[in-house]
Each structure stands twice: as structure tokens, then as C-alpha cells.
Amino acid sequence: MNSCEDPAKRENAEPEAYQEPHRPQFHFSPDSMWMNDPNGMVYYEGEYHLFYQHYPGSTVWGPMHWGHAVSKDLVHWEHLPIALYPDSLGHIFSGSAVVDWANTSGLGKEGEPPMVAIFTHHDPEGEKAGRDDYQYQSIAYSLDKGRTWTKYEDNPVLPNPGIKDFRDPKVFWHEASERWVMIFAAGNHVQLYNSANLIDWSYLSDFGQGIGGQGGVWECPDLFPLQVDGDGEKMWVLLLSINPGGPNGGSATQYFLGDFDGKTFTMDPAFAKRVAADTLTGNPYWVDYGRDNYAGVTWSDIPKSDGRRIFMGWMSNWDYANVVPTERWRSAMTVARKLDLRTTPDGPRLFSQPVQELSKIKMPSKPIPSRTVSQSMPISSLLEDQSATLSLKLQLAWPNGQQPEEIAVVLSNSKEEAFRFGLSDDQFFTDRREAGKTGFEARFAQSKHTAPRWRNANELNIKALIDVASIEFFADDGGVVMTDVFFPTEDFTELRLEVKGGRVAVRGGAIARMQSIW
């Protein structure tokens, strides 16, 4: 159990809590009941806040609340009471939170800037009645480090102008224009508004009509600047979740690169060309090519001295989220990830890496010895105590330019269930078709999941985080990421490297168990 957790808060918890089948050990999951999108991620006074879409009445989606947890290190989480409950204006859908340092809203009190949450009120009655205006943006504030929240008395602050899907506001302070900017989903595109005080909002612009992946409704945008290669050109990154229409089906998150001048987001011309040329999914740029990373956005108010852009997503997919085989709770978040823009032969791209704080829960690593593999090499035998919670790094090469047909890392158990991931025919892949329970939804394990490999190199660096029922596979230093969940009938404890149609030189690597955070 988490050392920073007060056991009294969990007195209603079942004794087996966090030991249940498929329960992640180092990823955030709700103590019980339903969870979807991360919401209101904000850092304040030494705490990373994580709110989330939550229905405390069931393990399936229902009237949404904001669940709440805090962490001092992005790794260990303490559950807090529900922050926002549905009210007469509706259910509490996704949104963001900021610290209003200068008390522009006037909601603060002396010496204590308010934390302000900006969220969508979803009116189920309006939806039932077939109206278009049942979603609108509202705010709530906290003067006690997020422990209690007061809804603003004149909600909504942004009424609905007659747009059916009008939701998921992400707000940030735009220094150059000295305004708060709100970006949110409006049907099949996004809209931007600004405000001097978080209360009175003015329309700025639209982005996205007919652009990028359009296979489903747009949801949960985020917009933030990053410098290419850390200190180069500043570009604005627009994250945009879409459901369905992901590269491997169902929900997924695409991104756009460009400029934001305080009013309009304009795609970088070279980037726009590549987006326009993509005929497969409408956009070749995805935050994650796996099936299970949705509605992810980034933390607000990370101190300048830290400077990271930190992301977290919901580790599920609307194709089957409501029916995955867990009983007491449903779904988990990805680990916190640092996002960067790096130069590639194809222009700047978004890279993701697990935050370095995760090394705190890594047990001592075992080095993977260098050798040539043409068939199979056991890896997990390096660990005395085999476990389903692992961190794996592998450096592979095919020195003569002769790339094997397939390089696969295989996770398995004594029931001959297996999850495979790797590189095959120049595509990264994950394959959960034989990984245990799959029959709960036809779309869960229909096919292999693939991602294009855009780096042309005679070597491959793999990083993977495996946590009982999930994998986060970071290929080519995080230039391609695939996140997938799986449900073996018995924990996966064996790990091996398999090579087909050629040989691979293992140049090094390491494997370590990850400790439970609960």
C-alpha cells in the first residue's frame, strides 16, 4: 500500500483491493468503480493533481463526476474525495484546471490564488430532448489546495451557441496577449476563446474543419508550445483526441504542429502537407499508435525551473472500455510521460518518454548480456523473482544491414497465452490476439496493431513498461509509442526475444522489476 495513503480513507475498501486480477501495480487506477479521461491536471504547492472522469455508482460509464488524486512525485498517488458532483446544470464532463496566480478571476482570497477548474456541464435532459445545446463550459474554484471546490454562481461561463458536441475545455495563460485561452472541441473541429478573468469569454477562431483524422467526433484538445530539440525553434503542439478513427481502430490521439499567435492556430506548412497527403487515417501523426491511450492532455503550471511538458492518457478505448474483464474498478491511466519535439528526417516530431521519477520504484536492474540471436533468447530468467511488473530496455542491431523479418519480444505464461510486440516488415507491432481473455468484445483483438517505422536505421532501441495488464512500448527513443492493455488468465511472467528470418545482435539492455505503488 502507498506510504502516503491514509488507511482510514480506505476503510470501505475490500481487503484484496489492489491485489485483484488484472490490477495495475504502478499505474494509477481508481480505488473502485468507473474511470475515463484524466481531467484538471495541475501542479500546485508541491502536488500534482489528477482529476478524472468518474462514475462512483458503477463500473460502467454513467453520470460523470470528477474523481481526484494527488501525487508528490507523479508515481505514488493518494486518493482524495470526489471533487465535483453533478448538479442542476448537468453532469461534470472533461476539462482542465489552472492556478490563477494574479487572481484575475477575483475568486481568490488574500494571499491564496484560487485553483480554477474549467469543465463541461453536460445536461442529460437536454440531450434526451434532442436539443443541440446541452453542453456548455463552467468553472469551479478551490482555496484549499484542491481539497474542496465551489462552483461559480453564474455558471455556465460559456453558454452553448447551438453546437452539438461542445466540450472538453483546456485553458492556459498566453503570456504574449496576457489572456487566458480556452481551446475545446466543437463537433468535428476545435474552437478557441480568450478571457482576461476566466469568467468572460470572447470568440477567437476555429481550427480543424476537414483537417486531419475525421473518422469520429473531436474531443479533449490541448495546445502548448515546445522548443524543437529543447532549445530550437518554438512550435505549438495541438493534441486532439478522436473517437473513432484511430490508426488501429476506435479512439486515439493525433497531433498537429504549427504556430499560435494568441488568436489562431496555423499548421506549419510542411507539416500540413504531410497531413493532407495521408490517405489511411487522415493524419500520419499520432501521440500513440496502440489502442489504449486516449483523451490524454498535459499538466498545467509545471514550474519554469522544471520546464517539462508532462502528459497522461486514459489507458483504454471506447470500443470496449465498458466491458473489459475487471470487477471492482475499471481502467487505469498511462504513466506520466515527458513530451518533446525532436528533429527527424521528416521534420519535427513528438517524442514521449516515461518521466524519470519512475526510476524510484525500479528494483536493481539486471544487464542483458550482448550476444547474437537467430531464434530465441530468454530474458525474464535474469530475474530471480519473476514478476508481471517490469521495465525493459533493449538495444538491438543488424550490423550488415540485413534486417530480420521479425523481431518480437514475447510475454507469456504457463497457459501458453502470449503478448507479442516488436518490429516486423518495417512496421512496429503489438499483438494481443493470443494474450488471454479477448472474447468480451469483438473489436478488442481483431488484428495485430501496427505503427509505421519512419526511422531508417540498422539498429533499434526499445523501452517497455509492463504492468500486469498493460504495456507501454516506446520504440526508437520514444518516436513511436504503442500502448495496449491485455487480460491473461494467469499473470505473464516469462519474457523472451524471438527472431525470425535473420539474426539480431543484442548490444545491451536491462531488465528490472517495478515495485507496487499501492
Residues that are catalytic: 37
Phi, psi (5° rounding) for residue 8?
-60, -35
Q: In what order do the strands lie in the sheet with 406-412?
A: 376-378, 494-500, 406-412, 418-424, 427-431, 449-452
Residue list 225-244, contact with ligand FRU (CB under 6 A) = none
- What radius of gyration, in Å, describes the C-alpha atoms of the chain? 22
**Least distance to ligand FRU from the beta carbon of 53, Å?**
4
120 binds ligand FRU, rule: CB under 6 A: yes
Q: What contacts 239, CB < 8 A, 6 or more positions away? A: 220, 221, 222, 223, 253, 254, 255, 287, 296, 297, 298, 311
Give the residue with the Cβ less far from ligand FRU, 282 or 296: 296
59 binds ligand FRU, rule: CB under 6 A: no
219 binds ligand FRU, rule: CB under 6 A: yes
What is the full DSSP assignment across 41-52? EEEETTEEEEEE
167 binds ligand FRU, rule: CB under 6 A: yes
330 binds ligand FRU, rule: CB under 6 A: no
Report the sign of the C-alpha dihedral through residues 125, 128, 133, 134, in that order. Answer: positive
**Least distance to ligand FRU from the beta carbon of 493, Å?**
33
53 binds ligand FRU, rule: CB under 6 A: yes
93 binds ligand FRU, rule: CB under 6 A: yes
> Which residue of 29, 94, 104, 516 would you call a contact of ligand FRU, by CB under 6 A?
94
The distance from CA 126 to its chain's CA centroid, rounded to whole angstroms, is 30
Give the residue with the Cβ less far from ligand FRU, 296 or 488: 296
Q: What contacts 184, CB < 8 A, 6 or more positions away? A: 120, 137, 166, 167, 168, 169, 170, 190, 191, 193, 221
295 binds ligand FRU, rule: CB under 6 A: yes
**Least distance to ligand FRU from the beta carbon of 331, Å?**
11
Q: In what order do the strands lie in the sheet with 310-314?
A: 294-298, 310-314, 337-344, 347-354
Give the residue with the Cβ less far from ligand FRU, 139 or 408: 139
340 binds ligand FRU, rule: CB under 6 A: no
**Least distance to ligand FRU from the beta carbon of 212, Å?**
17
What is the full DSSP assignment across 293-354? -EEEEE-B---TTT---EEEEES--TTTGGGSS-SSEE--BPPPEEEEEEEETTEEEEEEEE
Size of the site for ligand FRU (CB under 6 A): 13
168 binds ligand FRU, rule: CB under 6 A: yes
123 binds ligand FRU, rule: CB under 6 A: no
Give the residue with the Cβ less far from ligand FRU, 32 or 120: 120
**Least distance to ligand FRU from the beta carbon of 162, Å?**
18
> Which residue of 22, 25, 35, 37 would you call a contact of ligand FRU, by CB under 6 A?
37
| CA proximity to 22, closest of 368, 510, 374, 491 | 491
Q: Given the rule CB under 6 A, which residues bind ligand FRU?
A: 36-37, 53, 64, 93-94, 120, 167-168, 219-220, 294-295
